[in-house]
């Protein structure tokens, strides 16, 4: 039997956007759980008095993350800080990648000295035309992540390179956010990245193949997706609004964590 010799971490602060907030891992009470909550729950089970804060807010761009979340996270003095941001920027029709890289650099330079372990990620990407269209920007962002991690001693969790997480079946019907199973696999990836013994050695393994839905069902799903998600998303872009406007951080204070009952 393996024995986990990883030094226990006593606190975690998560920084980012909807991916870190936990959309679309929906709980019965209407709130979102997500990979960061799952990770915090595991860490809390191993460390009495474990504290957790989640500053993420859906829709945030990297500039907003740097301005609103990074200074707060740095001041908390947590053992582990996770930072995932910039992907929302790459999905905008007009994106200044030089500015995105500079802001991400500013965030890492602020957070790395403020914790024992900074965790960065190469975010997962769903198979499909959106990924194909924006792949060059995404890979430029991830190259910046790799470079910053090497320079500042951060851990990089490679979700983009995991075959399982590109499977559309691990994504919600909005095609932008992971399902509950997708978030569970991300939590496992970060857990292992922090040096803990695996609870699931197969998180990277793709799901078993199934027959794809028929043409008529796919067209009906495309129409429903466009009506419920794509058109509202385009409307927010055109009017300069965000799905996170006016929303507070998910868990703004670094407090002892007790996982919710699913």
Higher pLDDT, 6 or 125: 125
pLDDT at residue 49, as a whole number: 95
HEC secondary structure over 9-37: CCEEEEEECHHHHCCCCECCCCCECCHHH
pLDDT of 150 strictly over 80: yes
Least confident of 56-70, 93-107, 118-132: 118-132
Query: Under the phi-then-psi rule, with left for phi > 0, alpha for psi from -120 to 50, and beta for the rest, what region is 133?
Result: alpha
**Interval 214-230 mean pLDDT:** 59
- Dist. CA 98–CA 190, nearest whole Å: 28
Whether residue 191 is preceded by a cis peptide bond, meaning omega within 30 degrees of 0, is no
pLDDT at residue 24, as a whole number: 84
End-to-end CA distance of the chain: 30
**Interval 104-120 mean pLDDT:** 98
**pLDDT, tens digit, 9 for 90 and up, residues 160-191:** 999 999 998 999 888 789 999 999 999 999 99
For residue 191 the two structure tokens come to 């857990």
pLDDT at residue 174, as a whole number: 82
**pLDDT, tens digit, 9 for 90 and up, residues 197-212:** 999 999 999 887 766 6
Q: Model's pTM, two decimal places?
A: 0.87
**Interval 28-55 mean pLDDT:** 95
Unique residue bearing structure tokens 């204070």: 253
Give me Rg for the CA atoms of the chain. 18
pLDDT at residue 232, as a whole number: 58
- Helix locations, the chain, DSSP H: 18-21, 35-46, 62-64, 70-76, 87-90, 97-111, 129-152, 180-193, 215-225, 231-239
Question: Contact at 8 Å (CB) between 59 and 17?
Answer: yes
pLDDT of 122 strictly over 80: yes
What letters, b where the CB count within 10 A reaches 16 and e where it falls short, cover 72-107? bbbebebbbbbbbbbbbbbeeeebeeeebbebbbeb
pLDDT at residue 218, as a whole number: 59
Higher pLDDT, 24 or 188: 188
pLDDT at residue 130, as a whole number: 64
**Interval 77-89 mean pLDDT:** 97
């Amino acid at each position: 039997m393996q024995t986990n010799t990883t030094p226990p971490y006593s606190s975690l602060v998560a920084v980012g956007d909807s991916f870190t907030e936990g959309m679309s891992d929906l709980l019965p009470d209407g709130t979102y759980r997500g990979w960061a909550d799952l990770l915090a729950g595991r860490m809390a089970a191993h460390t009495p008095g474990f504290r957790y804060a989640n500053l993420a807010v859906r829709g945030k761009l990297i500039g907003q993350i740097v301005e609103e979340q990074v200074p707060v996270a740095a001041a908390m003095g947590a053992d582990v800080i996770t930072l995932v941001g910039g992907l929302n920027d790459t999905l905008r029709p007009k994106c200044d990648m030089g500015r995105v890289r500079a802001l991400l650099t500013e965030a890492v330079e602020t957070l790395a000295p403020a914790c024992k372990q900074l965790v960065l990620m190469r975010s997962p990407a769903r198979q499909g035309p959106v990924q194909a269209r924006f792949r060059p920007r995404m890979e430029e962002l991830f190259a910046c992540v790799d470079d910053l991690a090497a320079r500042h001693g951060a851990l990089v969790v490679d979700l983009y390179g995991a075959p399982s997480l590109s499977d559309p079946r691990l994504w919600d019907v909005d095609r932008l956010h992971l399902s509950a199973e997708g978030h569970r696999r991300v939590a496992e990836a970060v857990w292992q990245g922090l040096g803990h013994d695996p609870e699931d050695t197969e998180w990277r393994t793709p799901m078993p193949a199934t027959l794809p839905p028929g043409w008529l069902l796919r067209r009906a799903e495309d129409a429903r997706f466009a009506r419920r998600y794509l058109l509202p998303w385009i409307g927010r872009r055109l009017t300069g609004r965000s799905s996170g406007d006016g929303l507070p951080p998910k868990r703004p204070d670094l407090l002892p964590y007790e996982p919710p009952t699913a």
